[in-house]
Amino acid sequence: MKTNRIFTATATATAALALTASMSLASMDNPMVGGAPMYADKNIIENAVNSADHETLVAAVKAAGLVDTLSGEGPFTVFAPTDAAFGMLREGAVEALLEPEAKQQLTQILTCHVVGADAMAQAIKGMIDDDGGMHIVPTLGGCELKATYSGDKIMLEDERGRTINVTIADVAQSNGVIHVVDRVILPPKP
């Protein structure tokens, strides 16, 4: 009887270690984002909802009705602005964008952060090099971003001439990649 309890305890401990190891392997190559592990076997939305730094982005994606799209097959590259990036917009802008009547404008802004490809930082740098130091990145929202880099730091310039820095690159997802950015990308003024 004592042997069965020891075997059961050993089997339970082994199973727990195997689960912990597999969870660690799933996020081993990915950086932590917003205090949460990012798992390469989860999609963009499944990971983003766990980041404490992306609560505004998640709320905006829900308000724009883009959850199903960004949970889809992809591949997508998402330049994901942090809550602090949204906080840099003029006072009241985020609240106004989350209103139902602003859905079209919000959708355009959010899709200006999405590229219909899986582009890791090294690939982006290669495209920049191939284009002589600057690469135009077309987004699903119709924006064209100018990508450059210095050392390991990738920078984007939106059509308003604002510089957006990639602060955490290469967060692998099952349907693409996330690059965390420090500013909200805005489409050109009408």
pLDDT in tens, the chain (190 residues): 554 444 334 333 333 333 333 343 444 578 889 988 999 999 999 999 999 999 999 999 999 999 999 999 999 999 999 999 999 999 999 999 999 999 999 999 999 999 999 999 999 999 999 999 999 999 999 999 999 999 999 999 999 999 999 999 999 999 999 999 999 999 998 7
In this structure, the answer to whether residues 68 and 124 fall within a common structural domain is yes
Q: How far apart are the first and last CA of the chain?
A: 78
pLDDT at 30: 84
What is the pTM (predicted TM-score) of this model?
0.84
In this structure, the answer to whether residues 67 and 131 fall within a common structural domain is yes
CATH of the domain at 53: 2.30.180.10
Is 48:58 a contact under the CB 8 Å cutoff?
A: yes
Query: What stretch of H or E contains 121?
Result: helix 121-130
Is 55:155 a contact under the CB 8 Å cutoff?
A: no
Q: Beginning with the edge strand found earlier in the chain, give each strand of the sheet holding 176-181 in spatial order.
A: 114-115, 76-81, 176-181, 163-173, 153-157, 144-150, 135-138
In this structure, the answer to whether residues 77 and 145 fall within a common structural domain is yes
In a domain, 46, yes or no: yes
pLDDT at 29: 76
In this structure, the answer to whether residues 50 and 38 fall within a common structural domain is yes
In this structure, the answer to whether residues 7 and 73 fall within a common structural domain is no
In this structure, the answer to whether residues 133 and 123 fall within a common structural domain is yes
In this structure, the answer to whether residues 22 and 63 fall within a common structural domain is no
In this structure, the answer to whether residues 18 and 99 fall within a common structural domain is no
Q: Which domain holds residue 11?
A: 1-30
Is 115:140 a contact under the CB 8 Å cutoff?
A: yes
Q: How far apart are CA 46 and CA 33, in angstroms?
A: 13
Q: How far apart are CA 73 and CA 6, in angstroms?
A: 45
In a domain, 164, yes or no: yes
CA 2, chain centre distance (Å): 51
pLDDT at 8: 39
In this structure, the answer to whether residues 142 and 118 fall within a common structural domain is yes
Q: How far apart are CA 183 and CA 4, in angstroms?
A: 58
In the chain, the number of structural domains is 2
Q: What is the DSSP letter of 33?
A: B
In a domain, 50, yes or no: yes
In a domain, 157, yes or no: yes
In this structure, the answer to whether residues 100 and 48 fall within a common structural domain is yes
In this structure, the answer to whether residues 20 and 72 fall within a common structural domain is no
